[in-house]
Amino acid sequence: AKPYEKAVDGGLLPDANGKEPNPGGQTEGSKWQRPRLSRKSLMKCCLVKWIIASTTQQGPDSSDSDLELSMVRHQPEGLEQLQAQTQFTRKELQSLYRGFKNECPSGLVDEETFKSIYSQFFPQGDATTYAHFLFNAFDMDRNGSIRFEDFVLGLSVLLRGSVTEKLRWAFNLYDINKDGYITKEEMMAIMTSIYDMMGRYTLPSVRDDSPGEHVEKFFQKMDRNRDGVVTIDEFIETCQKDENIMASMQLFENVI
Amino acid sequence: MAAGVATWLPFARAAAVGWLPLAKKTMPKPPVDNSSRSDEILYLNVSGVRFQTWKNTLDRYPDTLLGSSEKEFFFNEDTEEYFFDRDHEMFRHILNFYRTGKLHYPRHECIQAFDEELAFYGIVPEIIGDCCMEEYRDRKKENQERLAEDTEANESMDAPLPPDSTPRERLWRAFENPHTSTMALVFYYVTGFFIAVSVIANVVETVPCRPPEGRIKDLPCGEKYQLAFFCMDTACVLIFTFEYLMRLFAAPSRCKFMRSVMSVIDVVAIMPYYIGLVMPENEDVSGAFVTLRVFRVFRIFKFSRHSQGLRILGYTLKSCASELGFLLFSLTMAIIIFATVMFYAEKGTKGSTFTSIPASFWYTIVTMTTLGYGDMVPNTIAGKIFGSICSLSGVLVIALPVPVIVSNFSRIYHQNQRADKRRAQQKVRLARIRMAKKGTTNAFLQYKEDRALGGRDSDSTALCVKNRSAFEHQHHHLLHCLEKTTNHEFTDEMTYSELCMTESVGFRTSRSTSLSSQQGAQNNPTGCCPRRARRRAAMRLANSTASVSRGSVQELDTLHIKTTSIPPQTRSSLNAQADDLKLNCGEQDFTAAIISIPTPPANTPDESLPPSPAPIPGILRNTRATAFTHETVKISSL
């Protein structure tokens, strides 16, 4: 079931019929009438509007109303559904949601917040670019924010999934435009962002061609048919043949 | 790191799977986490109010008390909860900090209480959220200022003179704090009187008096009674000069003194007289001399040494310098603007008084301050319009900085009031502390007496034992141990001072052998009591054998001793110094002098001291004397 979204705002609530109220507007069936020097028409006069605008505090009010309309709240799917979709136990899901909700009371993580959170783990370098890629990897329906379901589904794959699923997830991360192929440019972007996270003070220091060199090695290893792109099958096959990679896949299982 | 970071760490770690296919080297092994995986609810009992929270919540801040293993010290196995004997209202804020990551400061709480709670729970105050940080800082600064004033007030004025101050220092002190000695006070009032006399003379000498015979025009009194005024002026100037020179001599830093405001005022007040003496009766110069006499009015500022209110006013103006500067600047701007406008508005009119822009300045000032003398009045319509705008804006501009100055003055004035009140409070508090100490000492002496009484009079001891708490028992035992350690005894002030009074008679007694030798070396001619001790010893010769000589004379009130130069002395050593001793009670400032306390012979064969041939058994306090009467020797009877 799709999660429903409640638009909560203090101002214009849709009434029971779903019709939006018309603030200050004219009722239906209005014909053009001669402008009379009534209070209403005076108020519409530009000069008067300008005077009133400059004397009253209108700025914050208008932005407030904008804010209220856009502040949506998201409730996740039920616990049972999530249990079915992921490999987490009920208690684990409860614990995860409590932490998530505490950090993001609105139930959604937008990209800026995500970047700032992720950057805190890598203080020496600049983690924003990689966080951007990571965000896109989690945000499966590409709506610009991570909901709890995305979060938990991603974590389920990473922590409880099979090796193939994890490799698929990694491929999805590297494939920036999600077209099924990893090009050299995409890999270069990913690699640069990873090296960016290291920052300036490293031993040996990160040279300008370090990411490029790393990309070359990657392609040499992964790109079987030397066509300049890495497909998902090439990727999975190569990784399964590499014992180091296979062994390291078990590393993070105990994180939660 | 913030709370959120700890929550997101597992996620960041999981996302590291994305690096695995790219890794150049093998990954390290992850840390083994032995802690229980499942989250549990902890119970925190704070003075009876039960709080419950997830363990994870507390683990967010591992360097605080609740987040670390330190809380295990407070775990109560019986009730399976963590018990804290602290304020539960403030605990609410602490716990909210764990939950939300933001620490708030409750405005109605005392800042020090809050700080103490934070210190207890190991939370650094710097993480208070922005919403409450300003309030917290303001209150903290205010509190610190108040405490600083406290210590300052303590040290500055009422501290007694160090005994080795030179006459110069004493003189300076007399000048700065007139209430310390009578002479200073007298001098203070005399100078005040002469300042008043001088100022009045300056004023009166310009009043027109009836002309003497032969003249029609009224003369100012100054010229009629020229000699009288001159003599008065001379006298005043002499006094002021003398005072100034004395201050200059006594000042600890002459350069600083000469640069201070008061000294400048002093100089300015007396210079005209001397210049007038020196100046020849030259026509040209005497005009200048007349202007110099104006400076004589500065003598009135000398009153600021005598009046605290004036000083406060001066200090306020100094501290509001920026506001005053702003006022002046904005006024100047407005004056120039309006003067220019008025000048050009009134330029055409015939017979206009606005002859130039500077001439219009006068009009603008008079109008902006709403004085409105009416000597310059605009006649044109434009002039009148601008004139009215000028007067309205004048009110506004002047009204703006004034409240700031007023609030500054009020704050400083109240600070001063507080300082005075605090001084009075300190005195009361010190008196109370003294009384409390005396009470403790008396209680301790009581305890010893009762211990000595011991089995002899079980009823009475049982009674008084009941009235004492376990704390007191232990405290007394502790003091007793100290006595045994140092081989001296506590006593109280009264008896000690009485002994000092009756010091005059001194006669030797036989030296005790063992103890004297070591301590004899440390003799110190400040104990007056040895003589008394010797007297007692003489009186007690009859009863020598049984009673154990205990302790010796010393000054041991560790709480309140001011001079520390008196090492403890045994009675015997004091005996030894009989000749060197002089009555020196005045120098010591104790609240409890120490006099040896004898014990009844039967009960306590007091261990440490071998019976000296010259025991001093007199009990030197006139408190309970139930079983002791035959042995007590009241000091007054000596």
Q: Does any domain span residue B334?
A: yes
Q: Is this structure's pTM higher than 0.80? A: no
Write the CATH number for A243.
Answer: 1.10.238.10
B302 occurs within a structural domain: yes
| B365 and B299, same domain (yes or no) | no
Alpha carbon B76 to its chain centroid, in Å, reads: 44
Partner-chain contact B24 A151, CB within 8 Å: no
Chain A environment of B17 (Cβ under 8 Å): 158, 166, 169-170, 249, 252
Find the domain containing A203 and state its range.
Answer: 162-255
**What ipTM does this complex have?**
0.70
Contact (Cβ atoms closer than 8 angstroms) between residue B393 and residue B348: no
Q: Is residue A183 domain-resident?
A: yes
Residue A87 burial (CB count, 10 A):
14
Residues of chain A with Cβ-Cβ distance to B15 below 8 Å are: 134, 158
Is B348 part of a structural domain of the chain? yes
Asked if B11 and A155 come within 8 Å (Cβ–Cβ), the reply is yes
Say which range, A148-162, B49-63, B308-322, B511-525, has the weakest mean pLDDT. Answer: B511-525
- Among B291, B306, B321, the domain-final residue is B306
pLDDT at B349 over 50: yes
* B266 torsion bin: left (phi>0), alpha (psi -120 to 50), beta (else): alpha
Nearest chain B residue to A235 by CA distance is B21
Contact B23 A151 (CB under 8 A): no
Rounded CA-CA distance B423/B156 in Å is 11
What is the pLDDT, as a whole number, of residue B458?
52
Partner residue opposite A170 with nearest CB, options B7, B13, B17 = B17
Of B40-49, B81-90, B567-576, minimum mean pLDDT range: B567-576
Helix or strand or coil: residue B602?
coil
Decide if pLDDT at B625 tops 50: no
Point out the residue among A102, A117, A252 whose CB comes nearest to the CB of B13.
A252
Cross-strand pairs, B495: none
Q: Please answer yes or no on whether B56 and A159 come within 8 Å at the CB atom.
A: no
Residues of A with Cβ-Cβ distance to B22 under 8 angstroms: 190-191, 194, 214, 218
Does residue A62 fall inside a structural domain? no
Among A97, A118, A121, A214, the residue to mutate for chain B (most B Cβ within 10 A): A121
Contacts of A143 (CB under 8 A, 6+ apart): none
| Domain assignment of residue B33, yes or no | no
Query: Quick one: DSSP state of residue B149?
Result: H
Write the burial class of residue A54 (CB in 10 Å: 0-12 exposed, 13-18 middle, 19+ buried): exposed
Burial of B592 (0-12, 13-18, 19+ CB in 10 A): buried
Which of A15-19, A252-256, B513-517 reaches the highest mean pLDDT? A252-256
Round to the nearest angstrom and report the end-to-end CA distance of chain A.
27
B581 within some domain:
no
Q: How far apart are CA B316 and CA A122, in angstroms?
A: 52
Residue A242 has pLDDT above 90, yes or no: no
Higher model confidence: residue B133 or residue A254?
B133
- Whether residue B137 is found in the same domain as residue B224: no
Contact: B23, A244; criterion CB under 8 Å: yes
Is B75 in a helix, a strand, or coil?
strand
Look at A133 and B617; give whichever has higher pLDDT: A133
Contact A251 B27 (CB under 8 A): yes
**Is A251 inside any structural domain?**
yes
Q: What is the secondary structure of A216-243 as a DSSP string?
A: HHHHHHH-TT-SSEEEHHHHHHHHHH-H
- Provide mean pLDDT across the span B216-238: 83
Structure confidence at residue A28 as a pLDDT band (50, 70, 90) = very low
Q: B11 and A245: CB-CB below 8 Å?
A: no
Q: Is B515 a domain residue?
A: no
User: Where do we find the tokens 């959120």?
Assistant: B4
* Top-ranked range on mean pLDDT: pick from A14-28, B88-102, B511-525: B88-102
CA distance B374 to A171: 92
Chain B residue numbers with beta carbons less than 8 Å from the beta carbon of A137 are 18
Locate the chain A residue with the closest alpha carbon to B34.
Answer: A254
B335: alpha, beta or left, given left = phi > 0 and alpha = psi -120 to 50?
Answer: alpha
Q: Is residue A202 part of a domain?
A: yes
Contact flag A255-B22 (C-beta cutoff 8 Å): no
The answer on pLDDT for B241 being more than 50 is: yes
Per DSSP, B11 falls in state H
In a domain, B187, yes or no: yes
B24 touches chain A (CB under 8 A): yes
Q: Is residue A40 part of a domain?
A: no
Q: Which helix (H) or strand (E) holds A129?
A: helix A128-138
Of A120, A245, A247, the CB nearest to B21: A245
User: What gap in Å lies between CA A118 and CA A104, rounded to an integer?
Assistant: 14
- Find the domain containing B323 and state its range: 312-432
User: Please, is B201 exposed, middle or buried when counting C-beta atoms within 10 Å of its C-beta (0-12, 13-18, 19+)?
Assistant: buried
Mean pLDDT of chain B: 74
C-alpha to C-alpha distances, A110 to A72, A104, B591, nearest whole angstrom = 12, 10, 72
- Asked if the model's pLDDT at residue B627 lies above 70, the reply is no
User: Does the residue B267 lie in any domain?
Assistant: yes
Q: In chain B, what percentage of residues exceed pLDDT 90?
A: 16
Query: Which CATH number fits the domain that encloses residue B129?
Result: 3.30.710.10
Domain count for chain A, please give it.
1
Residues of B in Cβ contact (< 8 Å) with A125: none
B336 plus B300 within the same structural domain:
no
Chain B (49-78) residues lying within 8 Å, Cβ to Cβ, of chain A: 54, 56
Is residue B190 located within the same domain as residue B302? Answer: yes
B236, two tokens: 């005043």
